[in-house]
């Protein structure tokens, strides 16, 4: 029997109507999409960009981002003494000051209060503890104490070199330190809790900037290393400190921050987005986020707009071993965790025990191509310059295309390494994705080698000045190669 014909119910769309409806919807969508303003191109200017996140990336094909890891360096012939369970420079701080490297940290003296001690180096490898003669304490024969008798502060005293333009010479060095005081009796004995500010003209002799804390007691927990610095990107001082009540990761060790224009008056604190959900499910205390013991955040000196955090992550479901992870941010509040795995493990001869693997705050350059990190035992680890992570493709090859961007300068410089069978080529496209004549992939001169400052070239040479200020895209084609950073310059 043939099928009985059916008639559409009143108001039901016919096939013709459905097709017309779809076409009309598509046309309206296209019109709306065309009318929607396109996102402005990234303005790179002449700043350096690292491949620690997907900020530059629009498309990956056969390529990926991969994390790199610091490697332990040979110990110096005459290592510094490392008394105490956690080493001789607990909550250590290291920074370069001209031709001198300065190292500060806490030392726990036997049957005596905690003190802040100091060491210095001309190369970041061989360190000495000078006899400063500031305190008469026979328990530290080297006499390298720079701060004592400051209850609560010496526990986590963290200095920095103030690079703010016009800073008075007597305040060239600054520091924060302090603790949260809960019992009334403790506050009566030591004064208000919170973080106090200190200043110095020489990095050795320190005085309080004022008696009252600059970061009040009820803003944080502070029972860790808290730190501050001048941010050239934000044009203000920034302070990061420990909390347990971060609204984005409640109940675990996390971070909060405040900013200031004068180092005395600070803005209301803001909670960071930095803790990842805990791998493997909730902890034995039903915590669902990872525990970050120290924050170790600082602008990367070769790209000051990019904040590098090297917090220590602790696993309390074991014997509280610690490991260093990588966190990065472009606004100082929201941190990218592209790489959830460990950035630096304690090592074969490392410290897998309770809180045994800390990095000092933070890193320094110790060679033309080398960054150095230090543990509290002044054990040194090294990493390639800009080498936290890279754009990578294996022997099968791959490519990456950036989002539209503009730049200043007349040449493109990359920090890259390629194997003998590999290469890196760069094509410059218009914002529409069409290759620009003279800068096509066929014009690109392949890079083979290992350089931290290689100038990219095409058959016509390396000059890209005529494209400055115009929206472009970069297309990287690579094989058995890593690209760590790029920068347009003159």
CATH number at residue 425: 2.60.120
9 within some domain:
no
Half-sphere exposure of 443 (CA within 13 A, CB side): 17
pLDDT score of 152: 85
Does residue 132 fall inside a structural domain? yes
34 backbone dihedrals φ, ψ, rounded to 5°? -65, -35
Q: Residue 198 sits in which domain range? A: 71-385
- 394/381 same-domain check: no
Per-residue confidence (pLDDT) for residue 367, from 0 to 100:
97
Residues 138 and 213 in one domain: yes
Residue 311 maps to which CATH number? 2.115.10.20
Place of tokens 């920068």: 487
| 208 and 232 housed in the same domain | yes
Instruction: Give domain status of residue 32, yes or no.
Output: no
Query: In the numeric block, which tokens belong to residue 234?
Result: 């934000």
Reading the block at residue 392, the tokens are 């990578």
Where among 354, 385, 416 does a domain terminate?
385
Residue that terminates a domain, selected from 385, 404, 432: 385
In sequence order, the 6+-apart residues with CB closer than 8 A to the CB of 26 are none
Whether residues 281 and 412 fall in one domain: no
- Nearest 5°: phi and psi at 467? -95, -5
Residue 7 pLDDT? 41
* Structure confidence at residue 84 (pLDDT): 61
Residue-by-residue pLDDT tens, the chain, 490 positions: 444 343 444 444 444 444 444 443 344 334 434 445 678 999 999 999 999 999 999 999 999 999 999 999 998 878 887 666 556 899 999 999 999 999 999 988 776 678 999 999 999 999 999 999 998 766 666 689 999 988 889 999 999 999 999 999 999 999 999 999 866 555 556 678 999 999 999 999 999 999 999 999 999 999 999 999 999 999 999 999 999 999 999 999 999 999 999 999 999 999 999 999 998 788 888 889 999 999 999 999 999 999 999 999 998 888 777 899 999 999 999 999 999 999 998 876 656 666 778 899 999 999 999 999 999 888 999 999 999 999 999 999 999 999 999 999 999 999 999 999 999 999 999 999 999 999 999 999 999 999 999 999 999 999 999 999 999 999 999 999 999 999 999 9
Q: Are residues 337 and 399 in the same domain?
A: no
Q: How far is CA 242 from the centre of its chain?
A: 17
Distance from C-alpha of 274 to C-alpha of 271, rounded to nearest angstrom = 9
Question: Is 315 within the bounds of a domain?
Answer: yes
- Out of 364, 385, 406, pick the residue that ends a domain: 385
Residues 38, 415: Cα–Cα separation, whole Å: 31
Determine the Cα–Cα distance for residues 117 and 134; give it in Å rounded to an integer.
11
Q: What is the pLDDT of residue 48?
A: 98
Which residue's entry shows tokens 């400051």? 150
Q: Determine, yes or no, domain membership for 23.
A: no
What would the 3-class secondary structure string for the chain be? CCCCCCCCCCCCCCHHHHHHHHHHHHHHHHHHHHHCCCCCCEEEECCEEECCCCCCEEEEEECEEEECCCEECCCCCCCCCCCCCCCCCEEEEEEEECCEEEEEEEEECCCCCEEEEEEEECCCCCEECCCCCCCCCCCCCCCCEEECCCCCCCCCCEEEECCCCCCCHHHCEEEEEEECCCCHHHHHHHCCCEEEEEEECCCCCCEECCCCCCEEHHHCCCCCCCEEEEECCCCEEEEEEEECCCCCCCCCCEEEEEEECCCCCECCCEECECCCECCCCCCCCCCCECEECCCCEEEECCEEEEEEECCEEECCCCCCCEEECCEEECCCCEEECCCCCCCECCCCCCCCCCCCCCECECCEEEECCEEEEEECCCCEEEEECCCCEEEEECCCCEEEEECCEEECCCEEEEEEEEEEEEEEEEEEEECCCCECCCCCHHHECCECCEEEEEECCECCECCCHHHCCCCEEEEEEEEEEEEEEEEEEC
Residue 377 burial (CB < 10 Å; 0-12/13-18/19+)? buried
> Do 124 and 161 belong together in one domain?
yes
pLDDT tens-digit readout, 23-81: 433 443 344 344 456 789 999 999 999 999 999 999 999 999 999 999 999 988 788 87
267 domain residue, yes or no: yes
One domain, residues 364 and 419: no
Same domain, 152 and 219: yes
Whether residues 381 and 397 share a domain: the answer is no
C-alpha span between 260 and 267 (Å, rounded): 6
State whether 351 and 434 are in the same domain: no
In a domain, 186, yes or no: yes
Q: What pLDDT is stored for residue 28 in this prediction? A: 38
Rounded Cα gap, residues 466 and 129, in angstroms: 54
Residues 213, 147 share a domain: yes
Task: Specify if 28 maps to a domain.
Answer: no
Question: β-strands 450-455, 472-489: how paired?
Answer: unpaired
Q: How many domains does the chain have?
A: 2
Q: Give yes or no: residues 421 and 278 share one domain.
A: no
Give, in order, the Cα–Cα distances in Å from 263 to each of 35, 173, 331: 47, 12, 20
């Amino acid at each position: 029997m043939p099928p009985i014909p059916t008639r559409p119910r009143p108001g039901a769309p016919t096939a013709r109507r459905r097709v017309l409806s779809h076409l009309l919807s598509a046309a309206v969508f296209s019109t709306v999409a065309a009318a929607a303003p396109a996102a402005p191109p990234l303005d790179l200017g002449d700043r350096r960009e690292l491949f620690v996140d997907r900020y530059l990336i629009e498309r990956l094909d056969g390529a990926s981002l991969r994390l790199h890891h610091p490697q332990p360096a040979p110990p110096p012939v005459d290592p510094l003494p490392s008394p105490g369970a956690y080493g001789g420079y607990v909550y250590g701080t290291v920074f370069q000051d001209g031709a001198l490297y300065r190292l500060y940290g806490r030392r726990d003296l036997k049957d005596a209060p905690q003190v802040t001690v100091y060491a210095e180096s001309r190369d970041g490898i061989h360190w000495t503890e000078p006899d400063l003669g500031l305190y008469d304490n026979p328990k530290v024969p080297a006499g390298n104490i720079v701060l004592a008798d400051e209850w609560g502060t010496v526990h986590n005293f963290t200095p920095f070199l103030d690079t703010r333009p016009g800073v008075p010479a007597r305040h060239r060095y600054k520091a924060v330190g302090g603790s949260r005081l809960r019992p009334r009796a403790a506050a009566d004995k030591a004064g208000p809790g919170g973080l106090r500010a200190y200043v110095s003209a020489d990095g050795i002799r320190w005085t309080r900037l004022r008696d009252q804390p600059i970061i009040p007691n009820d803003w944080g927990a502070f029972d860790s290393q808290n730190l501050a610095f001048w941010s050239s990107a934000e044009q203000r001082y920034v302070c990061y400190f420990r909390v347990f009540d971060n609204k984005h990761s409640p109940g675990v060790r996390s971070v909060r921050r405040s900013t200031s224009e004068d180092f005395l008056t600070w803005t209301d604190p803001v909670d960071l987005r930095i803790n990842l959900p805990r791998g493997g499910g909730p902890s034995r205390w039903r915590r669902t986020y990872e525990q970050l013991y120290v924050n170790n955040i600082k602008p990367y000196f070769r790209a000051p707009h990019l904040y590098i955090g090297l917090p220590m992550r602790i696993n309390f479901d074991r014997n509280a071993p610690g490991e260093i992870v990588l966190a990065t941010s472009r606004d100082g509040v929201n941190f990218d965790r592209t790489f959830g795995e460990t950035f630096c493990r304690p090592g074969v001869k490392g410290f897998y025990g309770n809180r045994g693997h800390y990095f000092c705050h933070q890193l320094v350059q110790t060679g033309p191509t080398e960054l150095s990190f230090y543990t509290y035992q002044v054990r040194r680890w090294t990493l390639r310059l800009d080498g936290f992570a890279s754009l990578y493709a294996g022997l099968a090859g791959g490519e990456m295309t950036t989002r539209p961007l503009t730049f200043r300068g007349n040449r493109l410089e990359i920090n890259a390494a390629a194997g003998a069978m590999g290469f890196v080529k760069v094509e410059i496209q218009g914002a529409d994705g069409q290759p620009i004549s003279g800068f096509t992939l066929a014009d690109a001169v392949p890079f083979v080698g290992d350089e931290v400052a290689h100038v990219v070239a095409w058959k016509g040479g390396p000059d890209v000045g005529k494209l400055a200020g115009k929206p472009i895209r970069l297309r990287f084609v690579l094989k058995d190669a890593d690209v760590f950073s790029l920068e347009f310059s003159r």
